[in-house]
Chain A
């Protein structure tokens, strides 16, 4: 390496940020740059946008992403002539002084740095060889370098790291002390800190297998799955609300529990993948596999009125492509929605072909997500079975069959009832005939439904203030009058006559025949509410009407209109009846009514029979002449009204109601279900959903990665999942291992854990990443095995402090000559504080919970407007990952610590350090309450104040307090003891924070002072950090 080169390299390190490992490597490299590591990133960033894979924006017919393109004869010259700088147009264009010729053009604001320029020159000079992008080449398992260092090397991971460290003049940090190690392992594997007793025991345990045993124990802990779930749920954008606009609740928490269980049970990653993408398509899919397929339903959806279904189907399709490619492939295939990918060989057709895999998913474009799987608990299941059995045994027929005396009584009563009904119906031509209306209309949009007894019942989501009904009735002969019965119903207000306050006002009743109004001679009724006589029905005045006092008493009312002249409908004709409800009283429209006609010369006011119309004929037949069917039908109907059976009916109704209530309260799930005919998927030009000119596509894997030809027939999500975890797929294992590594070192081996593509970052240790990926893939996609391999490495066990000289030399910790250190994730900040306080409720799974949230934080949500209601009791102290996740307004304490909104895939959360975090830890009631609970624990320690302080610090940080730390805390304690002793009112106020009661056995002033000390400890950086 010459001096100039070294100099440039050093500059580059400074100029491009410390994690830019590619540059660091270039600095150490020789004259021959690596295409993959050094050259391609430059070409990709500076050139591919116009000279890359996207044909549509390719300039001058030149593509630089393939060797053929770069060396192609462009009419007497070529971009790259291997070994010849003068003849290589690429080089000439980047050194030219002519602004018009200069590449990249100035307007792109992407000038080459001196170092980049130098790299390109050396590359062309040394032959301009191309290599394919590292992430797209097959995973090969390199042998670990032959590097040894006692006390550091524990497995092959360390050999890879050690070799690189040595190449950069570094050596590993020593092993961290045992207290740090156990705390690190606990936080990394379970997300919870160890108890002081556990720490002390581990510190004393000098068995050579103690560390490994601890790892095994933590991998068996049920908290392992919870910790892993936080990582996975960010990727798949799991949340409890639909995301867009109204952002209403959707119940998918069973998916979250599936993820926890899958990691706890160490479901292999290929199976985990298959079940999420296509669990519903597996033969004999189990309930759990169907729950897993809820992955496909986690995306953001809308209920917004005026949203266009086609547009949203396109949005959903794109969302799924983005997510599946980011989660499993670490790819930005989503970029190819509007154009071929600029930097990776994905085409638009690839994008839409990927979308087509999901075109079978049954869902509505706009509107509420209807759960399609119910998940009763064993208790609920048992109770439902019991209720069903009771309902079956309690059927009235069976009751009567068992009780002869009762049966006799009922039969006798039935006879009497029949006689009464027959009396109401009458036998002659001249009596009333109830008619089933047709063509029912409600101007206000109510649902008007005809009942078996010919009556019409109003219901439905709309209940307008004023409403006009229209009904068409078919009748024959010379009709002389119309009867209107206003009838009570149990669904109506006060079980009375209408849906508003129970009363109706009909302002006008108009009968039309053959398009002409029928003249009415007289109106009569069996009841008239004072001020609302029945005559108002026919006075054509919309301000007056007939009313039934239904808000006071629930009684049927009957009105009769006598026509001036009989209307001759011959063998069959129609009458139209309009019922106007224009009273100023709102919702005073009839809740249930029945219309009857008559040919009687003198239509009488009498109520109709209380039976279904199809029984009128049967009841009129003499009992001994009825057919068996008629007998059964009448008996069955009578049982529904027989007073003697009332207690039995009540029981049945109670059981039925309970069954329905349980059913309504069941935990549900949105899972994948397939349409018989998948939706057609077409390429949308520039992503425009209104453009219908694009080609139709079938499900197909990205062409350049696909490997084998797809099977015959339409490929399914199963095929997609199997391809993702096929051994030939170069991306899946790399993407997962890169992210797994980040969990235990704080950064990926390829630093951009979101993008392994051409614009991502070259791995710092490509051979190690491949080795891990190969181990993972070839070892059966065993996640826990890989975790164990990583956390039992010497590298993992290093101190995170390291030597000052090493930190100076490698400030970005590129070469991992020390461990990473960081503030915990949002959920774990909460979990750790609650655990230290002794407040954490460590139940696993269940519906999401709502810890305290500032009032009115949801005030900007609407349709409907709603208020966050804090959970009660134990649910206030659950782990952070169970917190209800509202995408529009995620819990602000979570957001403060960088939890994402889960609208899109999040592969990497930022780690910010902000005043909002301080405000949360200082003032959020849950941390104040945790401090009080912690204070009570401290105060109860059998020690003097100084001993209590020592215990408290150790409980929170896992290490004994230093002398000065004890002094800091002791001073705070003394000062606050004095302050609260003098002001017990304030002490009580402080202790009243939170729902859990303050302990009664500690003096309030003392407890308040300890609470302040506890606050200081929980707020200390170390308490919620991992070193």
Chain B
């Protein structure tokens, strides 16, 4: 059919509520009539460095003081009262009723790693090996001090529910190169700390059309919900049913000339293809043993390491945004032991993913982000640390990122980010920049407003960490 026919346009208009005129035009030009792959609402504003993003979300709030932010003064003052000048009038989470706030020194040693000599906690020996590949931002700040809203803020740039997350934004803007897979995939793993809940709002498309929401892959049951045939129905049987459905739909279309029905037909084809491609993708047993060993992954174990390997497979197949969550960093008590445990679950997989991508020459156009929703207090909560939003660390690697650098600093006790502060909106602006998007020009009309991922406050691209 002619993609410019009025009915086709009418369909586009209806099925993508409110997409602006540019999006529509681009869509019309880019789409062939019968492929329903979304190719993006915008054209890149500049040449992109990154084709895809793998966000390794360390959920629960890893302690920056036991990962990347070394403060000798903290050890010096271990056990001393925290100066009130730091904490007065500051938001505080579980320590809000504490009688006295005392400094807790680093619970692990730090080492100098790589040519660059980055300081990295000795519990992360594998990440230390890629010190020269990563840019550590030590001056992150966020606005939300509790897990749920902090994740929402980290993902959506606002705490208000019902707004799209970054994966949805990026998928909406740039579309996907994956033929038989969703363009935005979410993988989860657990272990090493209090398993704070993660809500599906974290990968929701909010006011963007729902096709842009993240599709969660599961390690038990169907890898994607409802992707398995009913019992007693073979792939051939399913093919026959799908063929009949599509034939019935074509018949109806001939009667009423409704383009929505044509879309339905392509969606059934896509669904049928996914029924084969998803199990193939998620079956790691075909990976050579040396690759499984590299990650320390066992097929089907649902571990962070397996998810890292899955992330690589998704990246290879053109998925635009891959969001891993590891729920295991909420170390209110025994941060020493907690870090020991969680780091063992995460350290190797992180390194292996970056190594593997490098070996496949994919790191150059894959942006890796590693970090949690906030950091943890320099003050003790018993033997642990409480939530902290005024300064924490994350790292980035891959496409367009300068390796072996650190950016920004917290004060001498690791409390406030004081030099080169980076906000969540700055991080988003930087990620978008690497994907070829000017965050100020990337908007979507909702409730009469041109909404953007980076909000209305000023946000800046952290150019210092760009290669």
Chain A: residues with Cβ within 8 Å of the partner, total of 115
Which of B6, B200, B242, B272 touches A888 (beta carbons < 8 Å)?
Answer: B200
The answer to the question of B288 belonging to the interface, with a C-beta cut-off of 8 Å to chain A, is: no
SS of A interface (majority): loop
Which of B91, B209, B237, B271 touches A910 (beta carbons < 8 Å)?
Answer: B209
Instruction: Contacts A332-B447, A918-B268 given; indicate if A308 touches B91 (C-beta within 8 A).
Output: yes
By a CB distance below 8 angstroms, the chain B residues around A964 are 247, 251
Instruction: Contacts A804-B257, A914-B211, A989-B231 given; indicate if A1012 touches B201 (C-beta within 8 A).
Output: no
A901 touches B264 (CB 8 A): no
A755 touches B448 (CB 8 A): yes
A661 to chain B, nearest CB (A): 31
* Contact code string B193-226 (vs A, CB < 8 Å = 1, else 0): 0111111110010000111010100101110111
A1012 to chain B, nearest CB (A): 6
By a CB distance below 8 angstroms, the chain A residues around B6 are 807-808, 811
* Contact code string B427-445 (vs A, CB < 8 Å = 1, else 0): 0000000000000110100
A922 touches B242 (CB 8 A): yes
Instruction: Contacts A17-B24, A854-B222 given; indicate if A965 touches B195 (C-beta within 8 A).
Output: no
By a CB distance below 8 angstroms, the chain B residues around A308 are 91-93, 96, 145
Q: Given the complex of chains A and B, what is the CA–CA distance between A888 and B201 in angstroms?
A: 6
The answer to the question of A529 belonging to the interface, with a C-beta cut-off of 8 Å to chain B, is: no
* Contact code string B322-360 (vs A, CB < 8 Å = 1, else 0): 000001000000000000000000000000000000000
Which of A812, A890, A913, A976 touches B260 (beta carbons < 8 Å)?
Answer: A913
Give residues 218-252 of B contacting A (CB, 8 Å).
218, 220-222, 224-234, 237-238, 240-242, 244-245, 247-249, 251-252
A3 to chain B, nearest CB (A): 23
Q: Given the complex of chains A and B, what is the CA–CA distance between A752 and B445 in angstroms?
A: 11
B160 touches A904 (CB 8 A): yes
Nearest B residue to A855 by beta-carbon distance? B221
Q: Given the complex of chains A and B, what is the CA–CA distance between A860 and B188 in angstroms?
A: 9
Nearest A residue to B442 by beta-carbon distance? A109
B146 touches A307 (CB 8 A): yes
B240 touches A1019 (CB 8 A): no
A968 touches B244 (CB 8 A): yes
B252 touches A919 (CB 8 A): no
B306 to chain A, nearest CB (A): 16
The answer to the question of B33 belonging to the interface, with a C-beta cut-off of 8 Å to chain A, is: no
B448 touches A972 (CB 8 A): no
Give residues 733-772 of A contacting B (CB, 8 Å).
752, 754-755, 757-760
The answer to the question of A19 belonging to the interface, with a C-beta cut-off of 8 Å to chain B, is: yes
Q: Given the complex of chains A and B, what is the CA–CA distance between A23 and B361 in angstroms?
A: 50
By a CB distance below 8 angstroms, the chain B residues around A912 are 15, 209-211
Nearest B residue to A1016 by beta-carbon distance? B244
The answer to the question of A93 belonging to the interface, with a C-beta cut-off of 8 Å to chain B, is: no
Chain B: residues with Cβ within 8 Å of the partner, total of 95
By a CB distance below 8 angstroms, the chain B residues around A759 are 447-449
A923 touches B227 (CB 8 A): yes
A837 to chain B, nearest CB (A): 15
Q: Which of A79-87, A239-247, A488-496, A632-640 contacts B (4 or more CB under 8 A)?
A: A239-247
The answer to the question of B107 belonging to the interface, with a C-beta cut-off of 8 Å to chain A, is: no
The answer to the question of B21 belonging to the interface, with a C-beta cut-off of 8 Å to chain A, is: yes
A855 touches B220 (CB 8 A): yes
B270 touches A915 (CB 8 A): yes
Q: Given the complex of chains A and B, what is the CA–CA distance between A985 and B161 in angstroms?
A: 48
Which of A889, A900, A911, A912 counts the most chain B CB atoms within 10 A?
A: A912
Which of A757, A972, A991, A1027 touches B256 (beta carbons < 8 Å)?
Answer: A1027
The answer to the question of A305 belonging to the interface, with a C-beta cut-off of 8 Å to chain B, is: yes
B198 touches A860 (CB 8 A): yes
A993 touches B231 (CB 8 A): yes
Give residues 22-60 of B contacting A (CB, 8 Å).
24-25
B234 touches A811 (CB 8 A): no
The 4 closest A-B pairs by CB, nearest first: A759-B448, A990-B232, A989-B232, A306-B93
Can you name 18 A-B pairs with beta carbons within 8 Å? A244-B149, A302-B146, A304-B147, A759-B447, A811-B9, A854-B226, A888-B201, A901-B200, A903-B161, A904-B161, A912-B209, A913-B263, A914-B210, A922-B271, A969-B244, A976-B240, A987-B232, A1022-B249
Given known contacts A759-B447, A910-B209, what 12 new A-B pairs fall within 8 Å (CB)? Answer: A245-B197, A800-B256, A808-B6, A821-B256, A862-B196, A912-B210, A922-B241, A971-B244, A1012-B233, A1019-B268, A1020-B252, A1021-B252
**Residues of A at under 8 Å CB distance from B?**
15-19, 44, 107, 109-110, 243-247, 300, 302, 304-308, 311, 315, 332, 335, 342-343, 690, 752, 754-755, 757-760, 800-801, 804, 807-808, 811-813, 821-823, 854-857, 860-863, 865, 887-890, 892-893, 895, 898, 900-901, 903-904, 906, 908, 910-920, 922-925, 928, 962, 964-965, 968-969, 971-972, 975-976, 979, 985-993, 1008, 1012-1013, 1015-1017, 1019-1022, 1027
